Amino acid sequence: MSRDDDLEKTSILTSDTLKVTLDSATRTPATLVLLVGPASSIGKQWQLEGTDAVIGRSPSSTIFIDDRSVSKSHCKFIIRGTETLVMDLESTNKTIINSQPLPPLTTVKLKNNDQIKVGNVIFKFLEKGNIESVSHKKTFDRGQIDAMTGAYNKGALEAYAPEAIKRSDLIGKPLSLIVFDIDHFKKVNDTYGHAPGDFVIKEISRLVKDKLIRNEDFFSRFGGEEFVLILSATPVAIAGDVAERIRTTIESHKFEFEGTTIPITVSLGVSMRQPGGEDWEALFKKGDDALYKSKNRGRNQVSIA
């Protein structure tokens, strides 16, 4: 193949990729992007469509921001057809649009690339169909998603977990946790090689994400062969059933890599907190201790803290 052919193919691929990106952008609603605020959420997006949205420090807010400079109900975004308006809700530290304080309970129409300062937190507003929304989302997702499995990564888990606990307290429902890892994974790598080992990790992630959990459940790869699953509004009995379903599904699944079948099992630990209970670190330790109880009892089983 000539160099000209290579250049032509590259041009076609780039054009196709750009077309997909542009198509995605045209379907993207008006969006807020966090520019300055909690470090774990920099670049995070919230799409504004359908109903009004409130930014606040209360976990019941549509856009929850855990920052003391933000009032419990700080400001509201109002959707009127293709327009997006913002209103300050008599906040303590004001809502500021492009350096101009917004009078309380007064609406202002937002324009593309407006900066909105809420306490010490700053957002950028992107109008519907702005291609920048797509690029911001891709950048943020790369920081939140484990590249190998497509599950959330440890950083995303550590950002999400305290928020999940606050929401559990707000709605008065228990929060359950499942921690599990692959039994004798070092032996799998030593026996079959690292490529088959990576295949096993990816296949387990696919099974859990596609078949074993709800859309609202939070599934992450904690590191290596260990995974964490947060189940909102879920009592420990149901979490135990979910853990057992994960165990039996993985035990019976045929992990076949390049014609070789690899026997795989997992050990799991389950813990739960009632509203007003322990913090994230204590909840995780209970789940992790239960996991090690399963391992010490012979593996391929579920233990409940």
d(CA 235, CA 242): 11
Angle at Cα 280 formed by Cα 279 and Cα 283, nearest 5°? 90
Residue 226 falls in the annotated catalytic set? no
Evaluate whether 230 touches 279 at the Cβ level (below 8 Å): no
Evaluate whether 69 touches 86 at the Cβ level (below 8 Å): no
d(CA 52, CA 70): 18
Which is catalytic among the residues 163, 225, 251, 258? 225
d(CA 208, CA 213): 6
What is the rounded end-to-end Cα distance, in angstroms, of the chain? 63
267 phi and psi, to 5 degrees?
-115, 145
Evaluate whether 267 touches 180 at the Cβ level (below 8 Å): yes
Measuring CA to CA, how many Å separate 231 from each of 173, 236, 255?
Answer: 11, 10, 27
What is the residue-wise DSSP string for 169-205?
HHHT--EEEEEEEETTHHHHHHHH-HHHHHHHHHHHH
Lookup: tokens for 212: 């074993």
- Residue partners of 241: CB distance under 8 A and separation at least 6: none
d(CA 65, CA 121): 9
Measuring CA to CA, how many Å separate 32 from each of 25, 84, 108, 278?
Answer: 14, 11, 15, 33
Return the active site residues.
225
